[in-house]
Amino acid sequence: MVFGDHVISVDVEGHLFIWGFKGVAGDIVPVGHIMLGEKCTPTCVMHPDTYLNKVLIGSQEGGLQLWNVSTKKMLHEFKGWGSSVSSCVSSPALDVVAVGCADGKIHVHNIRYDEEVVTFSHSTRGAVTALSFSTGE
């Protein structure tokens, strides 16, 4: 994921790497590293709109983690919904994200207050692998 002057990458072992790419010459090495922990096998990463230096990590275990990549500290761990997170996206509404899960449910969640806004389901069609919001009419 492109993140300002950096690229953020995650791997299945729970490593989050921060890479610089502006003005880089020679060997490219990470400029930062975060270990997400044993309870987090990352499945998606996104930047919530207006959240400075923060990323939200979805996990195979079903939870979410909000991290500050500058301080390398986890700010909040969301318990999740008992199903692997397969996609997540920021909404046009401040503090609200949509989370797609392997069980076919879409959870619209307020991450500021850790409150569910609404849940949709399309369980007969499988996992939710992509999400987007439309602001058009």
Q: Where are the domains of the chain?
A: 38-125
The number of CA neighbours under 13 Å toward the Cβ of 131 is 26
Q: What is the mean pLDDT of the chain?
A: 91
Model confidence, pTM: 0.89
In the predicted model, is pLDDT for residue 137 greater than 70? Answer: no
Domain range 38-125, CATH architecture: Beta Barrel (2.40)
Residue 123: predicted pLDDT? 66
Q: By C-alpha distance, which of 44, 134, 23, 32 is closest to 86? A: 44
d(CA 87, CA 75): 20
Supply 135's token pair: 């602001």
In the predicted model, is pLDDT for residue 55 greater than 90? Answer: yes
Of the ranges 25-34, 50-59, 106-115, which one carries the lowest mean pLDDT score? Answer: 25-34
Question: What average pLDDT does range 49-54 have in this prediction?
Answer: 93
Specify which of 2-11, 28-37, 73-82, 121-130 reaches the highest per-range mean pLDDT.
73-82
d(CA 18, CA 80): 25
Adjacent-strand bridge partners of 9: 17
Question: What average pLDDT does range 8-15 have in this prediction?
Answer: 90
